[in-house]
Structure 1
Amino acid sequence: MDLKTASALHRLRLVSLIEAVSFLLLLTCSVLKRTTDFDAVPVMGPVHGVLVVLFLVFLADAWNRAKWPLKRPVVLFVLSVLPTGGFFADRMLRRETEDAVVAAHGRADVPAEA
Structure 2
Amino acid sequence: MLKLFRSTAILEGISYLLLFGFTMPLKYWADILEPNKVVGYIHGGLFIAYVLLALIFCWQRKWGIKRFIILFVASLLPFGTFYVDKKYLKGSTA
TM-score under structure 1 length normalisation: 0.74
**Counterpart Cα distance in 2 of 1:54 and 1:23:** 14
Equivalence for 2:52: 57
**Counterpart Cα distance in 2 of 1:47 and 1:37:** 20
Letter in 1 for 2:25: V
Gaps of 5+ in 1: 1-7, 102-114
1:11 maps to 2:4: yes
1:95 maps to 2:87: no
Q: CA RMSD in A?
A: 1.2
1:35 maps to 2:29: yes
Gaps of 5+ in 2: none
Letter in 1 for 2:7: L
**Counterpart Cα distance in 2 of 1:64 and 1:17:** 21
Deviation at 1:10, TM superposition (A): 2.3
**Counterpart Cα distance in 1 of 2:81 and 2:26:** 22
Equivalence for 1:21: 14
TM-score under structure 2 length normalisation: 0.89
Letter in 2 for 1:14: S
